[in-house]
Structure formats: C-alpha cells, structure tokens
Amino acid sequence: MIIQNPDYVDIVSNLILASKYLVIFTGAGISTESGLSDFRGKNGVWTRRDKGLPPARSKHFDEVQPNEGHNFMVQLQEMGLLKFLISQNVDNLHLKSGIQPERIAELHGNYTIMKCVECDTRYSRKEIGWERENHGRGFRMESPQDNQPFCPECHGRIINSVVNFNDPMPSKEMELARDHSMKCDLMIVIGSSLVVTPAANFPKIAKGKGAKLIIINIDSTPLDNLADIKLDVKAGDFLSNVLKRIKNIKEIEPI
C-alpha cells in the first residue's frame, strides 16, 4: 500500500503504540534535513557520480546537528517504545542525539570511532591518540603506517570503523541487526533507498517473520510493494507530528 498523504499520522502513531517490539532502520535520508547529502536520492552523491557530475555542496559531519527525525527516535527510546535501531549511516548523529550505544547497530561504521581488527575493541580518535594529519585515515584496505597507534588491549591493528566498498561487514553489528529484525513486530524504515545489500535485507527479514513494515522515503525503493505502508514524505515534519500524537494519546490514557 503506497500512501502519499502526509496526514497519515494517526495510523502510524497507533501502530507504534500497539507494537511490542519496534525496530527502526535508517539511511542517509534521515540526515539530509541536518544539511548532509544522501547517496542514492535524485541529487545523491552516487547518483551525481554516475551522471559524471561533481558532488552537491554539503556540510561536513562535524558541522551538523541531529534533526527532528533523530529526536523522534530518542523520544521513543525514552518512552520505552523503541527497542532497537539499525542504521546505515556513519555520521554519528544518532549517538550524538542521545541514542544509547547498546541500542544501535551501525552497519557501515561511525566516522568518529576507530576499532581493533583483532579484538574489536572500539575507541574514539581522542582515546586512542589518532591524529588524521599524522596517522592518515586508517581505512582497512590502506597499508598501515608504522607510526599509527595500536590497540592497548591486544596490540592489534587499529582501523577506521567506516565500512568502505569491498570491506567486510562488521560481524557483531550484522548479528545484532539480524536478531532484532527477527524479533520485531513493527519495522519503520526511514530515509533509505534500500538498494545497498546486505543491509537492505533486514526489512525483508522482519517482514518475512510477520512484522508490519512502514517505509518513509521521498523516493521509491525496491521494497515499496512489500511494505504495509509507504509514505513519500519528508521525515522530519511527519515524525515530529507522529511524536506529538503519541504523547497526546499517552497523556489521555486512563491510569
């Protein structure tokens, strides 16, 4: 069912309140309202690249703040409604907004986090003493430099947690995402084109286990026909209205 009415607030609110195990799945589109470019939208980074065009002007991750869409998830977390968050984003905005680290699987890494390839211990760049000017970017497929910091726990190699093309997916995050996708009874996809696998398989897993599937994305996705509800709306305003509706309903519930 493809719904294009941005006033479709009550039904989504009621589905969230009725759910026992809500999982949200986000892509780059959740962060466009913070000033970042997406990747596969009409003016996305990869869309423009494939057309031979330079990237559209965008802010750096360090320059942006979480938006209403990010806050929506934090508020659901605080109300006990959000059980888990799966994200394809590396921009750190979910953690910056207040999502608890144990409640999120960042499938493609996080640009602020370094990790050990041996023991998988995670560090901020400051914690490990990583300076880009002296130590480089630290991507997995780059040759390590002799001066780069090593893991204090096991003396293993430290790399950037961001997953680039041809890098292996992080096993811990993939396992968490799969487990929660199989548990959920409602999955809401926000701002993802759902064309990048294996990440895009998790909504299908959830649906296959009987969960209701809501997709919120301006552009079409390959899973639109699988969704119970598809909303072609900007996420921030719509989710802000859903949050207000949920709070109103909870306020008038009998004690």
pLDDT at 122: 95
Place of tokens 């991507």: 139
Q: Which residues lie below 8 Å from residue 149, measured CB to CB, with a gap of 6+?
A: 128, 129, 130, 135, 158
Instruction: Please indicate whether residue 108 is annotated as part of the active site.
Output: yes
pLDDT at 63: 83
pLDDT at 103: 98
Among 94, 108, 135, 180, the one annotated catalytic: 108
Q: What is the pLDDT along the chain (255 residues), one digit of tens a residue?
A: 444 454 689 999 999 999 999 999 999 999 999 999 765 555 544 443 444 555 555 667 778 999 999 999 999 999 999 999 999 999 999 999 999 999 999 999 999 999 999 999 999 999 999 999 999 999 999 999 999 999 999 999 999 999 998 899 999 999 999 999 999 999 999 999 999 999 999 999 999 999 999 999 999 999 999 999 999 998 999 999 999 999 999 887 654
Strand partners, 3: 231
pLDDT at 94: 98
H/E run at residue 106: strand 104-106
Contact between 107 and 163 (Cβ < 8 Å): yes
Parse the chain into domains and list their residue ranges.
2-110+169-252, 112-161
User: Distance between CA 16 and CA 243 in Å, rounded?
Assistant: 10
HEC readout, 227-241: CCEEECCCHHHHHHH
Whether a cis peptide bond, with omega within 30° of 0, leads into 170 is: no
Contact between 170 and 122 (Cβ < 8 Å): no
Looking at 3.30.365.10, 3.40.50.1220, 3.40.50.300, 3.40.50.2020, the CATH number of the domain 2-110+169-252 comes to 3.40.50.1220
- Name the nearest CA neighbour of 89 among 188, 7, 162, 173: 162
Give, as one character, the DSSP assignment of residue 117.
T
pTM of the complete model beyond 0.75: yes
